[in-house]
């Protein structure tokens, strides 16, 4: 059964709440899980206490910023990428987070495209093996081309899933961000219909504007029903800037189910 998590980088910001208060506000409104982007600029001890006292799970954090990401097609980036994965894994252990979000970076001039994919497969496999002993998953995310730029090494869901099949590790999976997929022109079910077991997490926001469900043009009742009927039973992360009060987002999303 699908449930929802809240991206507390974008939600529960009312009143300039600090991060731990956002956890409490999310829990009070019904969310049993939250997610963040950057971890290195946060008080993880304080965050961990808020998670523990509310019984809330932090289910994802990012290995690196999309503005400062390693290009995994280039072997010279691999040592830095692995160091960032190890640091993120240490942070994840502090806050009991099971999933680390990664990007593949951009196409690197001067290296054959197939070689770049091979290089990305190799380093992601190595990273997955390193964190697997801690029970952690790596989630490979695809961002829309306008946001990340036209030169992304992995620029659509099909390419990401091909990469994951080549890696062939149970703890290296796909972060299917439906918001980004729609902006990339992917119809409902496209690419992922036969690949639900490879999806480790789903994120979503309405279009246009990246706000909560019901503020744009997407039929989220149909979208969520398709996901559920296809066999996805995890969290759908609402990664959106609410137009209304954040405290109303969970109940409204649940009503769509």
pLDDT in tens, 156-183: 999 999 999 999 999 999 999 999 999 9
DSSP 57-104: EEEEEESS-TTS---TTSGGGHHHHHHHHHHHHHHHHHHT--EEEE--
pLDDT in tens, 5-44: 999 999 999 999 999 999 999 999 999 999 999 999 999 9
Tokens of residue 101, six digits: 């979000």
Q: CA 115: distance to chain centroid?
A: 26
Q: Tell me what pLDDT residue 149 has.
A: 67
Contact 238, 7 (CB under 8 A): yes
pLDDT in tens, 233-244: 999 999 999 999
Which H or E element spans position 141? strand 137-141
pLDDT in tens, 79-125: 999 999 999 999 999 999 999 999 999 999 999 999 999 999 999 99
Beta bridge partners of 57: 33
Contact 170, 131 (CB under 8 A): no
Mean pLDDT (the chain, rounded): 96
Tokens of residue 207, six digits: 């279009």
Contact 72, 121 (CB under 8 A): no
- Is the pTM above the cut of 0.85? yes
Distance CA(192)–CA(20), nearest Å, equals 35
Distances (CA, A) of 136 to 3, 30, 88, 130, 222: 21, 26, 11, 9, 31
**Is the previous residue joined to 208 through a cis bond, with omega within 30 degrees of 0?**
yes
Q: Tell me what pLDDT residue 67 has.
A: 87
Is the pLDDT at 144 greater than 90, yes or no? no
Is the pLDDT at 137 greater than 70, yes or no? yes
- Residue 44 is classified by DSSP as H
Q: Tell me what pLDDT residue 56 has.
A: 98
Radius of gyration in angstroms for the set of CA atoms belonging to the chain, rounded to a whole number = 18
């Amino acid at each position: 059964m699908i449930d929802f998590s809240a991206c507390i980088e974008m939600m529960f910001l009312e009143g300039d709440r600090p991060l731990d208060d956002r956890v409490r506000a999310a829990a009070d409104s019904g969310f049993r899980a939250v997610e963040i982007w950057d971890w290195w600029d946060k008080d993880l001890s304080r965050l961990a206490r808020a998670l523990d006292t509310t019984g809330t799970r932090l289910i994802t954090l990012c290995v690196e910023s999309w503005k400062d990401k390693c290009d995994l097609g280039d072997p010279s980036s691999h040592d830095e990428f692995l160091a960032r994965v190890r640091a993120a894994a240490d942070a994840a252990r502090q806050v009991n987070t099971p999933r680390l979000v990664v990007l593949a970076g951009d196409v690197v001039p001067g290296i054959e495209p197939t070689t770049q994919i091979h290089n990305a497969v190799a380093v992601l496999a190595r990273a997955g093996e390193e964190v697997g002993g801690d029970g952690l998953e790596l989630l490979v995310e695809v961002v829309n081309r306008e946001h990340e730029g036209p030169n992304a090494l992995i620029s659509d869901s099909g390419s990401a899933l091909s990469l994951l099949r080549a890696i062939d590790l149970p703890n290296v999976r796909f972060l299917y961000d439906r918001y980004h997929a729609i902006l990339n022109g992917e119809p409902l079910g496209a690419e992922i219909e036969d690949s639900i077991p490879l999806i480790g997490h789903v994120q979503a926001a309405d279009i246009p504007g990246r706000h909560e469900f019901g503020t744009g043009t997407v039929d989220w009742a149909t979208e969520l029903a398709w996901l559920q009927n296809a066999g996805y039973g995890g969290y759908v992360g609402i990664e959106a800037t609410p137009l209304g009060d954040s405290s109303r987002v969970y109940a409204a999303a649940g009503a769509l189910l």
